[in-house]
Structure 1
Amino acid sequence: MNDAIQQAARAAAARLAPEYGGRLPADVEAALHSADGATRRDQYLDPVSLGGLVVSVATLAWTVYQDHKKKHNDPPAASVIIRTIRIELSDSGIPEQLDTEQRDRIIQAVVEETTQVINDEVVLPPDQ
């Protein structure tokens, strides 16, 4: 997993923590480092599942961004990435306790953070 995805997932977790709990950043870290991606279903809103969702959306957002940029020679708008993720993300990857509005807020936050990280990488030259 590349650094942009990890940075975006961490930033999104920090941004979403007030709504989904202060453990979300740690749960995202666990998802980033999870070898098998296993989740638990024994809590009302499984934080590990939520952390995994954040990481999955960040990964998919990065992929959609890169594919669109390669195909069209320009970066996609965040709305294009959000719409694509909503279509491509299967319901089985969404914790069942989340409603559509919550899912969409998470997707939007993660996509915004992902595009911000990507744009920052483009603007800032790599360390030499």
Structure 2
Amino acid sequence: MSITAANAPRPINHLLLTATNTGSKTCALPPYPAARFGEAQSVPPVAESSKPQALTTLAPGESGYAGVRLSSGDGSGENGYETDSLAIPFEDGSIATVKLPSGGVYVDTALTVTYWQTSAANALEY
């Protein structure tokens, strides 16, 4: 499994995670990315409204997507900090270290992730 992160053009303050199955067998993604930004002691909450009908399964070469709201757009978030590291653990015990966009990202208490989706557009709706 390979995971990349890219700044989303819209909405503001969002990151798009792309998980690509680099193996030779179909695999199911965990329900959502248990993303750890920097030295965070906990994972961000998941946007329950983004829950799909079923787990996202990927055939070899296919990708799944998750949106991340990094911070509030109106400045209402608290305890913000800059970070240049992101780790996403998997159920088998492996951990993906994800390269963040150049310069890192700013996160605050508005930090939220979506469930894994089959399209990037769906992942960025929340």
TM-score (norm 2): 0.29
Q: Which has the higher strand share?
A: 2
TM-score (norm 1): 0.28
Q: Which has the higher helix share?
A: 1
